[in-house]
Structure 1
Amino acid sequence: MDSAIRNDKTRLALAQLPILIRQIHGALRAARDDSERERLHSLLCSAYVAAEGACCRLGYLSLTTLVLDRLDSAATQTNDPLFKVRSLMKRARLLMSYDSTDSAMSLVEEGLGMISNDREPERVLRGYGHLRGAIVAARGRRLDLAQSHIREARLIARPMDRESDLYGTLFGPGNVEIHACSVELEAGDPGKAAREGSLLVLPKDIAAPRAGHHWQDTARAWLIVGQPDKALKSLTTARRIAPQQTKLHPDVRETLHGIAAAERRRSDSLGAFARWVGVTL
């Protein structure tokens, strides 16, 4: 499942997740002791974490509330408080998508406040929480706060030599720099986001959809600063890295319409890309 999500096979993951979740519920009914039930609830939490990420990646926001409710319920049946932290951060993302940034930031702060230890799982969740806080703050046009969260995330990621898969966070040095560009795009200097985003060298182990989304954001940044040709080039890079996500993500369609509106003449490359996505310009 994690492999499908990391390798831009989100549709496959969404097809498999309901079966997996039913199987875990079946195993729970047959569980013989509390230890086994606790382990299975942890697996269920991981499945719901993956389901929420897949739904968001493909723009199915209407499904995420139900998934997060199930994640909250499963998290109460484990002895791992970090699943509750993960759920709070995911709910913050959902609230942010509806412009409820103050409420979203409250959840981020609550989640960060629940992390007390300094083992690797706690450090990864803390770093992930700061990245979530950075984007929520940027959406709320609180640039100083967003940049403060980025600085905290950088400090945590600095000693890391890879992107972490713990709790499905994909947290690491590369992801921090991706979020730094996103902060500039949302609340700072889109030109800086475009320039630095185009020059950013991502780690080889970073998940394809994460890298693809970075190039989608870079395309938006180039469009905002009036360079539709570079925006299309960035979308082409996103397509090469994560074709399924690029083809299905609603932000790509919006960017394509923006490029078409900005171009004086409709280029053949834009027309070909639009046909591949299934958009009429």
Structure 2
Amino acid sequence: MSADSPREVGARISACRRARRLTQTRLASASHVSYAMIRAVERGARQPSDEVLEAIAAVLVIDASQLRTGHVGTERRVHRALPELSAVITGYEIPQGPPRRTASELTEAVGTVVDWRLGAQYGRIAEAVPGLLRDAIRHAHTACGAEQQAATRILAAAARAADAIAFKYGAHDLSARLIDLMRWAADRTGDPLVQAATAYVRTEVFLAARAHAVGLAELEQAIDAAPPPLSRPTAAARGALHMRAAVVAGRCEDSDTADIHLKHARRLGDQVAREVVCLGTAFGPDSVRVHELSVAVSLGRDHVDRALRVATEWKPAASLPAERRSGFYIELARAQEWAGLRADAFESLKAARAAAPQHTREHPWAREVMHGLRRFRRADAESLSHFAHWVGAV
């Protein structure tokens, strides 16, 4: 339960609204909440319901947990969506009639959920993706001729967005089925870039099973099959696979192989010159830096100095996708807690939450670090306790 008073919640809503340069009237209209309710909530006279809070947060383009600590509306929406997603993909290889949306409407909707995934907006994905995936499956079966490749690309992207919530919220069996659907779609695109992106995502299956050596072998096969890095998209696709392989090699405690893959990733990152999003995967020099930290943490406590050195030299820019920035600070917090830098670890977790609240809340390493920090009482123990309750570390 939230420890925030109505006045604290109202002040946060007011501050965010002003930062967005919205009047109370415009916020009320866009959120479909009455003007009287908006006024009452902002002055602390009313505690908004979950539905009202989420409607306001959607207009302000933030997660509701940034307005009220301990808000669990996202979890409810995700867990409500998971059974529907499971039903939608059952028998995906069987034609089920025409979609309700046109190809252009599906393309636009998939682009939106991809943006939400990169921004770690899991609650919004949960509301939209079951129906979107149903239509994408139907479109893949009914599209003909030149439209067929585009239709299966849409399906692969929709399945990946659905997998984001399944994997993050621990539904690993459903996640594996969604990745099988993604592979089915990728094979039908005939596009090696889509197949490379699918191999990148499929690593989740091996991570969940802790089958790191097999996962590394799969990634190295995907790198060999990827097209030559002669353009920015092909360089980004191959570079992303090298980044992923470096992290998995770290989980195998194979620092030499991890460093080889990082070296390739750096070279390809320099080649693309700036961050790009290729088929839903961010890649560029900044993403490589994030993975340098991830590799050091994956290698374990003996490499904590290496992890801290990466963070001393560089911090992620606000332009990097929110989920990736949040992951950087969560892994940094883990290294800092190992090094006994507990105050720094707590600050890093707060930075992760500021970047992507839903991602931080569901990350097992964020809870692990908080468990460690709660063993030590500090001057701001109340703040620490509030965060621990929020992240589920109690």
Within 2, Cα distance between the matches of 1:77 and 1:215? 38
Partner residue in 2 for 1:136: 248
Which has the bigger relative contact order, CA under 8 A and spacing at least 6? Answer: 1
Partner residue in 1 for 2:283: 171
Within 2, Cα distance between the matches of 1:30 and 1:87? 23
Seen in structure 2, the aligned counterparts of structure 1 residues 264 and 195 have a Cα distance that, compared at 3 Å, is farther
Seen in structure 2, the aligned counterparts of structure 1 residues 184 and 162 have a Cα distance that, compared at 3 Å, is same
Seen in structure 2, the aligned counterparts of structure 1 residues 183 and 30 have a Cα distance that, compared at 3 Å, is closer
Partner residue in 1 for 2:209: 98
Partner residue in 2 for 1:194: 308
Which aligned pairs between 1:205-224 and structure 2 lie closer than 5 A?
205-224=319-338
Partner residue in 2 for 1:242: 356
Within 1, Cα distance between the matches of 2:140 and 2:272? 36
Q: Is 2:164 the partner of 1:53?
A: yes
Within 2, Cα distance between the matches of 1:25 and 1:249? 30
Whether contact under 8 Å (1:191, 1:222) holds in the other structure is no
Unaligned runs of 5+ in 1: none
Q: Which amino acid aligns with 1:55?
A: A
Within 1, Cα distance between the matches of 2:208 and 2:141? 36
Within 2, Cα distance between the matches of 1:55 and 1:194? 31
Within 2, Cα distance between the matches of 1:183 and 1:5? 23
Partner residue in 1 for 2:131: 19
The structure whose Rg is larger is: 2
Which aligned pairs between 1:263-274 and structure 2 lie closer than 5 A?
263-264=376-377, 267-274=381-388
Instruction: For residue 130 of structure 1, report the CA deviation from its aligned partner.
Output: 0.4
Aligned residue pair count:
278
Structure 2 counterpart of 1:76, from 167, 176, 187:
187
List per-residue Cα deviations over 1:1-21 (Å, max 9, x = no partner). Answer: 122122231221133111111
Instruction: For residue 191 of structure 1, report the CA deviation from its aligned partner.
Output: 2.8
Percent same amino acid at aligned positions?
28
Within 1, Cα distance between the matches of 2:125 and 2:285? 26
Within 1, Cα distance between the matches of 2:327 and 2:169? 11
Instruction: For residue 273 of structure 1, report the CA deviation from its aligned partner.
Output: 1.0
Whether contact under 8 Å (2:289, 2:310) holds in the other structure is no
Seen in structure 2, the aligned counterparts of structure 1 residues 90 and 27 have a Cα distance that, compared at 3 Å, is closer
Instruction: For residue 112 of structure 1, report the CA deviation from its aligned partner.
Output: 0.5
Seen in structure 2, the aligned counterparts of structure 1 residues 29 and 126 have a Cα distance that, compared at 3 Å, is closer
Whether contact under 8 Å (2:203, 2:219) holds in the other structure is yes
- What root-mean-square deviation, in Å, do the aligned CA atoms of Structure 1 and Structure 2 show? 1.9
Seen in structure 2, the aligned counterparts of structure 1 residues 2 and 134 have a Cα distance that, compared at 3 Å, is same
Within 1, Cα distance between the matches of 2:272 and 2:194? 22
Whether contact under 8 Å (1:58, 1:245) holds in the other structure is no
Q: Which amino acid aligns with 2:368?
A: E
List per-residue Cα deviations over 1:39-77 (Å, max 9, x = no partner). Answer: 111110111222233433444333211011111111121
* TM-score with structure 1 setting the length: 0.91
Seen in structure 2, the aligned counterparts of structure 1 residues 25 and 125 have a Cα distance that, compared at 3 Å, is same
Unaligned runs of 5+ in 2: 1-112
Between 197-206 and 106-115, report the one with greater CA deviation.
197-206
Between 192-201 and 99-108, report the one with greater CA deviation.
192-201
